[in-house]
Structure 1
């Protein structure tokens, strides 16, 4: 048996699957693709998460695009984080050329230009359906993360959330959070001290300044009603899975806003989706581009919680895929949970780079056909080292793979096309109606004025001239009543519990 025949048999046997799959590409031996050495990815194991890594310009984004396409064709919805604005072309059919014809023939797949059902989502001012969440739903852990608080300040935020949970006081937006923080060091100082202990006014004022900084970064439009229902991510159109693209191009310089939003989305999905175990295909796949932003500057405690979410969320039928330049960007405990690894080329320009390449190569199975370290630095664009899990959960052989070309547009949509796509959304009208905050503040002010007038009337009616504390509502009770008026959405405070990341669970009943 020749080396080529042995390689073909080795790869074909390793990637053989009895259930549904999609073809990612074909194996390469000695720089030549071997058509029969097909690299198949079984749908059954796609809830075991994955990694797409490689240097800039090596084809990571196109691989992500291919995977989203193939999942959609199999009826599996996906969510894509688009920080660079590269992925909108999924909505339009691709264009063939000589190189694509050669690549498709070498892999043994047909090239049929196809556009896919796409929903544009945004947490900023980009065109698309607005993603919002209330401060209460976000939770104390992620609010502390996004504000960059120290341990003392985190304790105060935890106190505030606990206080508001007990008192059934919703925190809809950042104005609400600032209002309650002011309360705990002013009118409610003694009440808070009696129940929770003394709170440092200096620490609260520091938190207030950080909230203002966050507002200046545009976060005001993200916090509030109507909260996004993650069940709207799990849709199909004409039998194809919906591809939800979260456009984040205008928040590249605000990594904490992006990373904290991503963690809240993961937590919300985990808390909302029912248990389904290991099915024949995933319910949803999430692709987190620039994944290092999620882990940079994250505390050890937060990373531990992310690891727990990654471990547990697969039982909900959800696969999470991290896209980054190097596997070393992902903490080891999280990296060890990733079943599919697609490693594009790395560049060795410095001694540090060469050391990182050596460490990267250790993340992959040893191959009898090539030196992993050498292949890592010599692969061309659209080539990758691939290892997955077969249907029995066993890692497949490491395959130097020629990845298939996307069948959707590899260029971005024009501005007019993006606006047209955003305007054609079936759910935009559901979420793009923002609550009139000025109106809500007016209601709050009116209620407070009414409470003040009522208190004056009670004092005037006392024959002794002494006010009875038992007959009057204190300021917090009025604040609670009035802020409750502001809750016009779906956040229902009954049987409050908080998830691993501190987000509100069981919020939609």
Structure 2
């Protein structure tokens, strides 16, 4: 029953499949906690990998790592496979590369300050408009003067240099207040506490390493360990957005390919949009709208469609809705909103169905021929072939050392960039100032020596005159005294 041109999702009144040629039209997986969203992500990733499509996904709970190991004999899973018509079902592992911003549970993931850009950095640090303006100036000056901003110390050095040159730059860029620079520097300290210092630097993650396939044609599944990263939600969402932006900027246009070049799963997607400024939302909308022409499919995973802005939600054609609960008026509103996003089926009361779905069940609507969403169907989701639940630390370490990128990212590189250039420049200024001061001191000393020499010459002449006069006077006085003394003596003789 396997369709080589589709990813099998499950069975309703018919097989529910995600057609590969519409895989870059994006998608949405929603549902309350514990209703099966991670399993749906897992079976989609398996399907794309089998079709030769590389996958990137964040593992926010650690459960998704099991995709790297074959599932074990499980009567319930085998029964579910038969129930959905998978006569050829078997357990298997999938090629996996593990990544980790902290370098603990996977290959280190880094990006540069320059690649992140001022807009995303401003969002990451929750900067005010004035602070964002100062950060933009720092980037502009770095670009103009050919200084790479690679890591945190580069940015700190650039900001300090900006503060020192504020009066010089005022004409071109306006006032740069020391308090503004100080506030940004303090925000950088907060980022340090979240581990961002490990994240910014080189070697930066290469997009090509996320788009690898195995010799037998399967796509590698890149898993980002995000359980610890979720403690810094702003860093998590900003990193994933920066990665989306890099894909958008680097990949060439391919139109509508037979299958995606890469599928990107964005779990806990609400973190991307919470309190996001309008400029950032506009950028996200632009990336989502245009990245499909680069052959990239983006799939958001969150609890409710209301977590996604309407402008983005409208572009998500492949949808899987797991159960939602409606005990409060707000939750009831959310259920109605979720039901309204589907193409209605006269055989199903969508709103009621959403609240009655069991674990492993979902409402699905996939793009059909000509890219039109299918009518919503109540679907039994297929079981995964890989392991349900996490792999062991030993299994993870073994997979990391056998990874095709092992040894590429493990050692950080610190090449010459803004920090080194500005430090060298400051040292040269200090040396020049010291040399100038030494020259001034030498000149002053020379003047003092010359003045002292003239003074000593004058003193020598004066001394000689004084000594001659004193000698003559002294001789006369000496004689008089002798005479007086002797004269009295001699005078006594007379």
TM-score normalised over the length of structure 1? 0.82
* Offset of residue 93 of structure 1: 0.5
Tell me if the contact between 2:147 and 2:421 (Cα under 8 Å) persists in the aligned partners: no
**Partners of 1:316 and 1:54 in 2: CA distance:** 29
* Offset of residue 438 of structure 1: 12
Residue 84 of structure 2 aligns with which residue? 107
**Partners of 1:266 and 1:78 in 2: CA distance:** 13
Residue 58 of structure 1 aligns with which residue? 35
Residue 182 of structure 2 corresponds to residue 215 of structure 1: no
* Offset of residue 190 of structure 1: 2.1
* Offset of residue 88 of structure 1: 0.6
Residue 333 of structure 1 aligns with which residue? 311
Q: Which has the higher helix share?
A: 2
Tell me if the contact between 1:129 and 1:425 (Cα under 8 Å) persists in the aligned partners: no
Tell me if the contact between 2:109 and 2:199 (Cα under 8 Å) persists in the aligned partners: yes
**Partners of 1:148 and 1:357 in 2: CA distance:** 32
**Partners of 1:376 and 1:446 in 2: CA distance:** 64
Structure 2 alignment gaps of length 5 or more? 444-494
Give SS of 1:139's match. helix
Residue 388 of structure 2 corresponds to residue 398 of structure 1: no
Tell me if the contact between 2:66 and 2:391 (Cα under 8 Å) persists in the aligned partners: yes
Deviations 1:179-227 (A, max 9, x none): 11112222x1222113211111111111111111111111100011111
Change over 3 Å in CA distance of 1:459–1:139 after alignment to 2: same
Residue 26 of structure 2 aligns with which residue? 49
Residue 472 of structure 1 aligns with which residue? none
Residue 208 of structure 2 corresponds to residue 231 of structure 1: yes
Residue 265 of structure 1 aligns with which residue? 243
* Offset of residue 125 of structure 1: 3.9
Structure with larger Rg? 2
Tell me if the contact between 1:126 and 1:250 (Cα under 8 Å) persists in the aligned partners: no
Residue 147 of structure 1 aligns with which residue? 125
Residue 147 of structure 2 aligns with which residue? 169
Residue 23 of structure 1 aligns with which residue? 8
Among 425, 432, 437, which residue is 2:410 paired with?
A: 432
Among 15, 21, 25, which residue is 1:38 paired with?
A: 15
Residue 284 of structure 1 aligns with which residue? 262
Change over 3 Å in CA distance of 1:125–1:427 after alignment to 2: closer
**Partners of 1:430 and 1:358 in 2: CA distance:** 49
Residue 231 of structure 2 aligns with which residue? 253
Residue 356 of structure 1 aligns with which residue? 334
Runs of 4 or more above 6 Å deviation: 437-444, 458-462
Deviations 1:222-279 (A, max 9, x none): 0111111111111111211000001111122211000110110000011111110101
**Partners of 1:208 and 1:265 in 2: CA distance:** 25
Residue 370 of structure 1 aligns with which residue? 348
Give SS of 1:57's match. coil
**Partners of 2:31 and 2:291 in 1: CA distance:** 26
Structure 1 alignment gaps of length 5 or more? 1-11, 28-33, 466-509
Deviations 1:91-141 (A, max 9, x none): 100123222222111211122101000000111243211111111111000
Residue 395 of structure 2 corresponds to residue 410 of structure 1: no
Deviations 1:395-420 (A, max 9, x none): 11211111100000002101111111
Deviations 1:443-500 (A, max 9, x none): 97567445533555477779x98xxxxxxxxxxxxxxxxxxxxxxxxxxxxxxxxxxx
**Partners of 2:420 and 2:321 in 1: CA distance:** 56
Tell me if the contact between 1:44 and 1:280 (Cα under 8 Å) persists in the aligned partners: yes
Residue 343 of structure 1 aligns with which residue? 321
**Partners of 2:318 and 2:417 in 1: CA distance:** 50
After alignment, is 451-460 or 83-92 more displaced? Answer: 451-460
* Offset of residue 393 of structure 1: 0.9
Provide the aligned length of Structure 1 versus Structure 2: 442
Give SS of 2:371's match. coil
